[in-house]
Structure 1
């Protein structure tokens, strides 16, 4: 459990009083004991689990990160959270580190995944440290892979690249030891490849995916893991002009045909054949086939993170096809889906810059200018 921070105690008291609730009423709505609410508000005791904080946030109708931080997160607050995560990650790099008892681990890992899939990356950082402190690459490799994968994505999207690299390396080490290695290891390798592509190092990405040695495909989860690696290999081929990436897309489709449509162990959004449409579109964009990308687009995926990527790809495609209104609409839709994530995406600033030179409605231009300013502030960090 994590120590009770003063911000949580003060914020919980303030939100409860704003609603005119007694401690007993809040406890009843959160389905916890009155003594637990009293202990948190007074800041006494050994700590509080993420599960309890989540139940309190649900009862109060607010986000966990808002409850922990005391309001909308500032850049300084995000940097402080990232530093806490960094301190919690470092012990995981030590050899033979033992796992610590943590009764709420399964529930808190699920909450971590839920926050990441919902693109609430600040919440991921807010709740990660106690989870990370309980893990061990050797003792809990599967859980360590899951947690560090989610944390790496959150750190990356919030601009803490070096700490994200540490988290992803730990995830790779754990995945190589995990019971579900055939499913987890190729997915982590694929994410490393995507990060390299976004860092404009496609040759590094190609080396990563081509030198991966995933375990044999031995079930639906492994098929989904191998398909993820295959689609990222196709993306690296398109970026490096090694091939058009179509062979890798076909291989991924064949693999997913062997999946049962439920094996999404790391929340990649790639576990059904239809999930490949977005990535096939990204491969077409990489090889500058914008008409082909439009034909492959389909409809936005239901998951927030993949829907965000879909909208950003549609913005790029529409700009290349001189469909300015559609491009602006896609970029604004991406902002609405994931305002935390958008400033750090490599394509955001360029798309906003191009759109600001076009004839668009004043209201739209004002919104685009705000997106561009956020992206500039992010890049200046």
Structure 2
């Protein structure tokens, strides 16, 4: 450290991820670059020190943003941070619109709701967090801050407007009523990591392939596929996917019920997030099953044999139709076999469920 650096003011910024699941991944990627971004966008004459840590595995649901900020205040004081920012996957609302972020200069803390940022959360966080830190320090008046980066959070697409709550330095950043809700739902699916749900359905997919392989040898199925039109095949496909998602939710008790800890609106959002995540995972599974079934049909069923059964010339689209109806039937069969899935793996698809990471410990004492 040079002599000049020793005389630069030092500010410690704490980043807390709660729960230590998807938010922890964002914090891990942000913490390594945040000091440089703060120097670039807030004040280059400050020596920025960034500390990161994990919050609660199951964050409080009943107090909204205020509960998160109150908990963060204690964490900031315990670790002697100058300011602290919490990243959470809780979907939050303010006056009926999605709450993207909230800053409290009086308490020197701020929070960001990752789902409200939409799908591309890391890019948005890179813009929001430096602005929140700069605003906290400017509004306290303890540190002279330059105006670099001032108002950058307002340029984030997820933020529609900023609302001052009357108290000095108390500010909420909210999304729009319509597009903000759409962005919130897509952000919830992103935070819920549908890829994890897809991997969790691996046994179901294997069982569906077994059902499809058996159905390929049944000439009655060939004739059914030829007789059904595109509308009926589409209806059968949709019903099979709905049946699978419903079965997963019911069989593994993934439906969130309101209680004294979980408000009705939050439980509703959790259930929508779970349903959308499972819907996306099962749709991708269906496409994989469909591609595999069509390929197997083209390899195993000779054109002459299919023509003899259908009693007409066979086109390439006939193999697609055959794969279509068999995939839909095999999906229903896979739903029955989904009870064989590992309970912990399937429950991870529930938005309100956060499995405790291996070797988890609160990093405040590190």
Q: TM-score range by the shorter chain?
A: under 0.3
TM superposition score normalised by structure 2: 0.22
TM superposition score normalised by structure 1: 0.21
Of Structure 1 and Structure 2, which has the larger fraction of its residues in helix?
1
Of Structure 1 and Structure 2, which has the larger fraction of its residues in strand?
2
- Of structures 1 and 2, the one scoring higher in RCO (CA 8 A, sep 6+) is 2
